[in-house]
Amino acid sequence: MQNVISRSRGKLRFIAGIDEAGRGPLAGPLALACVWCAKKHQLRLFSGIRDSKQLTARAREKWFLRLKNDPRIAFRATLISPRLIDQRGVSWVLREGVRRLVERFRHAEGRDAASFFYLDGGLFAPSFVRQRTIIRGDETVPIISAASIVAKVLRDRVMLRLHRRLPEYGFDMHKGYGTRLHYARLYALGLSPEHRRRFCAKLL
């Protein structure tokens, strides 16, 4: 797949990155995050950052706090529930999640803010947005890496809260992904309200 580029005009004020976490698990929400900053700050703010999958949980938390506490950086996130994923499907909820994030950026910075969005592969913003979708962008574009960290940290925190409510499923260990342990618990216990029934169809 080729990168998708939307042509931009005029001087840019902001750059933004969008990524998701939790597209494939059997349980829990899908999380999307948008991180942005003034274009002039982009190189030094994200120096040394890496894709969330290449970091330990501790390193992700450290980066998350750094992103959260730096006044030059802003981010928004959205969580899509398992119920909505079941009702509308992953493709629709990804589009809807990105749309929500774009609107939150426009609300925060002004609807006409000059901006450019970088999105990880498979994600696309509404057509009016100046954008570029980059395959494996979370590994190569620092501001997308930042978004991947925000999405992953926030989703993992949700899964830890779910574990406290439903400890028998072991969400603290597998975070809802289809591990051997998770399947064993599912066969023994059945589905919880936090499971994606479409993804667990073979178990029904």
Mean model confidence pLDDT for the chain? 93
User: Domain map of the chain by residue range?
Assistant: 4-203
Two tokens, residue 115 = 């901006």
Q: Rounded to the nearest 10 degrees, how much is the dihedral formed by the CA atoms of 59, 61, 63, 65?
A: -150
The answer, yes or no, to whether residue 7 has pLDDT greater than 50, is no
Tell me how far CA of residue 185 lies from CA of 20, 60, 168, 197, in angstroms: 26, 28, 8, 15
Distances (CA, A) of 142 to 50, 72, 85, 119, 149: 7, 15, 28, 11, 11
Kindly report, residue by residue over 61-92, the tens digit of the pLDDT. Answer: 999 999 999 999 999 999 999 999 999 999 99
The span from the CA of 137 to the CA of 17, in Å, is 9
Given a cut of 90, whether residue 10 has pLDDT beyond it is: no
Give CA separation, 200 vs 48, 84, 86, 104, 204, in Å.
38, 15, 10, 32, 7
Judge whether 36 and 150 are in contact, CB under 8 Å: no
d(CA 81, CA 154): 14
Three-state DSSP state, 198: coil
Please state the CATH superfamily assignment of the domain spanning residues 4-203 in this structure: Ribonuclease H-like superfamily/Ribonuclease H (3.30.420.10)
- Residue-wise pLDDT for 153-182, tens only, equals 999 999 999 999 999 999 999 999 999 999
DSSP β-ladder status, 131-134 and 73-80: unpaired
**One-letter identity of residue 114:** A
- pLDDT tens for 103-130 read 999 999 998 889 999 999 999 999 999 9
**Could you read off the pLDDT of 139-150 as tens digits, one per residue?**
999 999 999 999
Distance CA 58, CA 54 (A): 12
